[in-house]
Structure 1
Amino acid sequence: MDNKKILNQFNKKANEWLVDLRMMDEEVIQIKPSETSWSISEVYDHVMRVARSYQIPNLQKSVTELAKRKKRKNKYGIAIFDLGYRKDVHIKMEKFPKPLVEAFTPAKRDKRDLVKDFLSFIKEVNELQDILEKSGKDHKQYHFMFGDINTREWFSLIELHIWLHDKQKAKIKRYIETKELCIEC
């Protein structure tokens, strides 16, 4: 996949999320279907936290001398990045290394702040285009679930992560509209 297509894919998904966020009321984005589930504001916050604390730093690191390579890309990385396989999965954060869980745990945010931050996030991700343009397939950084993945794959992981949370966001919205029990929101 070329850089322009990767960037367009991210912008399309991010703009869908931005429009959706702008259309929801402050009260709606704070509703949690259960004690253990997240609100919509927390889903947005989580997506940005993961990108800013893990995906973007590793993308940036992949083009430096500090890049760490531990294991070749595994079957999961090949399926996702080489074959374009996307499966609706439900990943529990508790299975991640403890420092990542702490960094990825979302905070409750008010709508105005969240919209402003999401706009800033979209801009930050788009500013990575220069790194994408300068990177090659040999620029890699280790990902604990996929093995060594290259800069473009780190970038596409940002959009993939948003895509993975689409279903969660839809379930929360359905709960808000219907008060239907939501087990895995």
Structure 2
Amino acid sequence: MSNLELIEIYKSELQNYSLAQLRYITAEDVWSIGQMYDHVIVVAMEYLDNVETCATLKEEQKLGKTESGEHVYKIGGFPPNKIKLPDKLNTPPSNTDSIEELTSRLDQVMLRLRLWENRVDDINPNYKVEHGGFGWLNAREWFDLVGMHFRHHLRQKSELEHKIGFRI
């Protein structure tokens, strides 16, 4: 399944929630479904910003990925465990967007993915931007990370739906 198909699933399923279900927080330190959507959108836009940055660089970077980064790209995605970010990076995502706002923001992610999908492989693979956990990534790696991140959150999405008693 392509990144665009995956995001289309997120968009489609978003239409099935009520606003109350979207914003419902089941426990302290557990995100609502809306917060999870906000998170994957914000991160996707950051990753796509880094694709753009790689496209504008003029100096090659010889450093590579960390051990974690090598592992993630070797297996083609995030490991199936929950990732706890440091507190300074772990600000709760927004829980205020409507279904329409989240849908529009997902459309913006898809627009940017379409913009780069046929151009990303033309960017020098030695033009890289550093990722805090995975090391130095090139444009293709940042682009691929968008889909990996959306896939990683599918299980969380399912768990949150279960907690609110949601069934499609």
TM over 0.5: yes
Assess if the C-alpha contact under 8 Å between 1:70 and 1:147 holds in 2: no
Structure 2 letter corresponding to 1:33: T
- Partner SS state of residue 164, structure 2: helix
Moved over 3 A (4+): 66-71
2:161 corresponds in structure 1 to 173
2:141 corresponds in structure 1 to 153
Structure 2 gap segments, 5+ residues each = none
Q: Distance in 1 between matches of 2:59 and 2:38?
A: 27
- The 1:72–1:38 alpha-carbon spacing in structure 2 relative to 1, beyond 3 Å, is same
Query: What TM-score does the superposition give when structure 2 sets the normalisation length?
Result: 0.85
Given candidates 75, 93, 98, the residue that maps to 1:106 is 93
Identity fraction in percent:
23
Q: Distance in 2 between matches of 1:117 and 1:86?
A: 23
Count of residue pairs brought into register by the alignment = 165
Say whether 1:17 aligns with 2:5: no
Q: Distance in 2 between matches of 1:27 and 1:113?
A: 15
Q: Distance in 1 between matches of 2:111 and 2:99?
A: 18
Structure 2 letter corresponding to 1:59: V
Q: Distance in 1 between matches of 2:41 and 2:77?
A: 23
Assess if the C-alpha contact under 8 Å between 2:120 and 2:139 holds in 1: yes
Deviation at 1:166, TM superposition (A): 1.1
Q: Distance in 1 between matches of 2:75 and 2:134?
A: 14
Question: 1:46-85 alignment to 2 at 5 Å?
Answer: 46-52=39-45, 54-65=46-57, 69=61, 71-84=63-76
- The 1:154–1:67 alpha-carbon spacing in structure 2 relative to 1, beyond 3 Å, is farther
Q: Distance in 2 between matches of 1:119 and 1:72?
A: 32
- The 1:72–1:34 alpha-carbon spacing in structure 2 relative to 1, beyond 3 Å, is same
Q: Distance in 1 between matches of 2:154 and 2:53?
A: 28
Given candidates 27, 43, 47, the residue that maps to 1:34 is 27
Assess if the C-alpha contact under 8 Å between 1:10 and 1:159 holds in 2: yes
Structure 1 gap segments, 5+ residues each = 1-7, 179-185
